Chain A
Amino acid sequence: MTAPTVAPAAGWAPELRQAGEARFAEVGFPTTRHEEWRFTPVQRIAQGTFAEPVAAAADPAALAPYLFGQGSWPQVVFVNGRYDAARSSLAGLPAGVTVSSLQDAWLAGTDVVRAQLGRHATPAETPFTALNAARLHDGAFVHVPAGVALPQPVHLVYVTTAEAAGAQVMPRTLVVVGREGRAALVESYVSLAPGATYFVNPVTEVVTAEGCWVEHVRLQRESEAAYHVGFTSVDQARDSHYRSFTLAVGGAIARHDLVVRLQGTNTETLMYGLYLARGEQLVDNHTTIHHQQPACRSWEVYKGVLDGRSRGVFNGKIYVTPEAQKTDAKQTNRALLLSPDAKVDTKPQLEIFADDVKCTHGATVGYLDNVTRFYLQSRGIPAALATRMLTYAFCAEVVEEIAIEPVRAEVDRLVRERIGGLGA
């Protein structure tokens, strides 16, 4: 891991950088001896030498397919870690709403940024949040003030181009939604260089106030030779609603941690996830939900489809503190193996210290059911098509949960494409 070769802009979050630098110097990269990284070896990242990314422009035609055909959505685009003003468009935002480069907002002295950045996904969370802080590039800042509802989703686009090959990118996102605010966010990680090897290490902080409603879609579509280690922290205040959908299809090693802290009563949290792995890909999802206030509800469904010699990892933690009575938490994790050489390690982890709660979890890993496939065959559908239809159906159950229709349609298309073609 090389040190930064380009000096950061003067005054760009120096304390956070220093804290990240110090923390990473202390802990270094994890190994499989660390419980949280037991099934996810990261030597290839640790031993790699990743340069600072080269500035590049994203070809608009190449980028267009990743924008859901929604030219009117406000969007901020970062290419190889740098803000691309030409590709970003911020028209039509309601008064008081900010969508901008995080670095610009910090350097402009924006109070919300200075108060919140790095306070939720701290460098202490994981070695990779420390590294992100230490090598902070840029990223998106979204601020929705109290009482404001965004009329359209905001798209945060993190692009890597061929120029990023061999480089490391450290995107950073901060989303702050004020009391009774409403926002839909789409966070995309896309590669315009399909075979490139590079390292993306994003950290996202979502901070909600009372009564917020936040819809958050995270699409990870990196090169299949890339390393993507991401961390998302969500703080929910009382009476807030947060709904997440994460998709992971890229990365040779792809890891995402989603940590939700319920800091007020009567919240609702929905977490849906889908990953599709093939070849030698390793896709790891770690989710943690801290039920630490009474009467909060959480509902989680993660699904994975694994082909080839791919590996899946799922770890779902639900912590319920003694004061979090009347918690209602449900977690489901299902993996579908399409190949005898694919493998999944799954670990639900419930730690419950309150007595009046409803917490359930279920994990299944398996192949397609022969009887179901036979049923389709008996209706004239050939075995190979039956397999694709059933794989699609397995995914569709979570894809249907994407509430932003153009995004749902695009993920649906992507799933069909990945499972090898399926008529409309």
Chain B
Amino acid sequence: MPLFWQKNKSFIILAILIVIQLILISVQTPLGEQDNYFERAVFVLFSPLQHGIVSFAQGIGNIWKGYFNLRKAHIENEEIKKELFFLTQENNLLKNALKNYKTEKEIMDLLQKLNQNILNARVVGIDASNYHKSVIINKGSLDGIAKNMVILDKSGNLVGRIVGPISLKEARVQLITDNECGVSVFTQREKALGILKGDGKGGCKLDYILSTDQNVFEGDSLKTSGFDGIFPPGIAVGEIAAISHTGELFKEIKVRPHFEFRNLDQLAVIMVESKDLY
């Protein structure tokens, strides 16, 4: 045995390392949904470092800006931007909610819940394997972040939801462009219901619209329906970019999401858990 070990030590170690990682892969059932403790530990250990580096870079950038601009004007500008950010969110939520709720009381209840619970977050990391899958934000469990909280962009368009792992000051956001993300949506014009899925390449597709359905058109706006129990109803998602008929049961519909990846610096987290909204 020792001779065998001496002779094949490196291959045995390689085999052990591969087997450990294969076990890690196989225990992740259902596919990638539950983050295991090991993954969480690695994320918690290394994400603050990434957060720190990006914050440092942002800090340097701010000093640079502050030096060359009039300090007071800069502060005022930041305040106005912040105010505008929240006002835009509030305005969009108001518009969306008004369209989808029947009674004034229902509108007031939901808006009160949402508007009091918007948290401003910044993107501090992108997905290493595919940047259209997820991003990491600078808010974590210390800020009250929990799984399935909804993320919007500056203009109130749907970006995604919080998925694990969540560390003290960082959390991962699954983007709607991820091919494992599903959102229940409807077309604004004719209220045709479907499931929005990411294509993993920056776009989305609308599934389960029957080929015989005549109520779906190119350019139609899509909004969340709320039927998935995660995303509140009425949030703007995207618009239909192309419809093709493949001769199969369902139409092939390409969707262009409203949010733009390159503009994902500032995000809004709706701090109400989906279970508290319904």
Q: Do A and B come from one complex?
A: no
Which A residues are within 8 Å of any B CB, using their own CB?
A: none
> Which residues on B are within 8 Å of A, measured CB to CB?
none
